[in-house]
């Protein structure tokens, strides 16, 4: 086969011409479309204005978006306001709770202070009443002793000076006195289960062979007067004047004494600072 041989084409052969009726129909359709479009266009100024207004309607969309944003801002503002008010309410409740706790603590502290003050005042009154009873008892004893010694002055003066044997022992005296602590006070008693003030001193000195007068008035002049700054164990302490004392006790050393004080306390050992005596006599 020659290289220039004709290769048959697969394309369809072009037709000699299109149908004239088809071309006429297409043209008629185009003209009809133009006619419809012209008929639809506004013919008057009012219609054109209405058409223009209709075209401007899409401009509402940006205004709507702005309104939605404003509404969102308002909602956020309201939410922030509510959150702020809630935080304030919580802070107020916390402050009120703390204030209530402080008030309760202050009330408890005040009640405790009042309780302590009342206890201290009650103790002070009790101490004052006890001391008043002791003084009253001593005054009563002094009155009794004064009445009992009326008309016997010469006898009292005769026995006022105690006689101390050579073997007098202050340690024995102090030991006896301490053994009587806790026993009862009974006016006029001289032992062994109860004493009054001068009955105790008389019984104590009897243990070491020294005879003392019976009354505190006579015992206050039964020896040598000594100052309260120069005491030694065994000295007789007295309250009131020398020769008119209404109470006596015995010094045991270390600033302390033993005495039958009154019916409420009985025989006690006490520091001299509790009730400072007026003077002292030495018979040992």
pLDDT digits (tens, 9 = 90+) for 85-98: 889 899 998 998 99
Beta-carbon contacts of residue 278 (< 8 Å; ≥ 6 apart): 238, 239, 240, 241, 245
Tell me the range of 112-121, 122-131, 138-147, 207-216 where mean pLDDT is highest: 207-216
Q: Which residues of 228-263 are buried (b: 16+ CB within 10 A; e: fewer)?
A: eeebebbbbbbbbeeeebbbbbbbbeeeebbbbbbe
- Pick the residue with more confidence: 244 or 36? 244
- 76 compared with 217, residue with greater pLDDT: 217
Q: What is the rounded CA–CA span in Å between residue 263 and residue 134?
A: 8
Q: CA 214: distance to chain centroid?
A: 57
3-class secondary structure, 263:
coil
User: pLDDT value at position 156?
Assistant: 33
Mean pLDDT, rounded, for 93-119: 89
CATH tag, 61-284: 3.90.1720.10
Give me the sign of the Cα torsion angle 130, 132, 136, 138.
positive
Say if residues 205 and 219 touch (Cβ distance below 8 Å): no
pLDDT computed for residue 162 by the predictor:
46
d(CA 71, CA 65): 10
Closest CA to 148 of 240, 200, 213: 213
Answer yes or no: pTM beyond 0.85. Answer: no
Tokens standing for residue 257: 């004494």
Question: Measured between alpha carbons, how far is 26 from 43 in angstroms, rounded to an integer?
Answer: 28
Choose between 13 and 254: higher pLDDT.
Answer: 254
- Which pLDDT score, from 0 to 100, does residue 166 have? 37
The residue ranges of every structural domain in the chain are: 61-284
* Radius of gyration (C-alpha) of the chain in whole angstroms: 65
Predicted local confidence at residue 139, as pLDDT: 55
């Amino acid at each position: 086969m020659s290289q220039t041989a004709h290769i048959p084409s697969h394309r369809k052969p072009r037709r000699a011409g299109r149908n004239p009726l088809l071309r006429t129909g297409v043209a008629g359709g185009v003209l009809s479309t133009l006619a419809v479009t012209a008929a639809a266009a506004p013919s008057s100024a009012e219609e054109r204005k209405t058409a223009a207004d209709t075209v401007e309607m899409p401009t509402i969309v940006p205004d709507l978006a702005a309104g939605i944003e404003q509404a969102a801002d308002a909602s956020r503002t309201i939410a922030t306001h509510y959150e702020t008010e809630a935080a304030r309410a919580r802070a107020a409740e916390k402050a009120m709770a703390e204030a209530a706790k402080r008030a309760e603590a202050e009330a408890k502290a005040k009640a405790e202070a009042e309780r302590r003050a009342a206890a201290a005042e009650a103790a002070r009154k009790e101490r004052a009443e006890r001391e008043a009873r002791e003084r009253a008892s001593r005054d009563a004893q002094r009155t009794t002793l004064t009445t009992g010694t009326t008309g016997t002055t010469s006898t009292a003066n005769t026995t006022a000076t105690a006689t101390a044997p050579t073997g007098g022992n202050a340690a024995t005296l102090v030991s006896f006195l301490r053994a009587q602590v806790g026993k009862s006070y009974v006016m006029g008693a001289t032992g062994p289960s109860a004493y009054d003030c001068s009955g105790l001193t008389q019984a104590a000195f009897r243990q070491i062979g020294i005879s003392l007068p019976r009354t505190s008035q006579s015992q206050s002049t039964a020896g040598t007067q000594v100052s309260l700054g120069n005491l030694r164990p065994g000295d007789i302490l007295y309250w009131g004047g020398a020769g008119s004392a209404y109470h006596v006790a015995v010094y045991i050393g270390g600033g302390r004494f033993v005495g039958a004080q009154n019916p409420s306390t009985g025989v006690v050992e006490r520091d001299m600072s509790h009730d400072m005596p007026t003077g002292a006599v030495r018979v040992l």
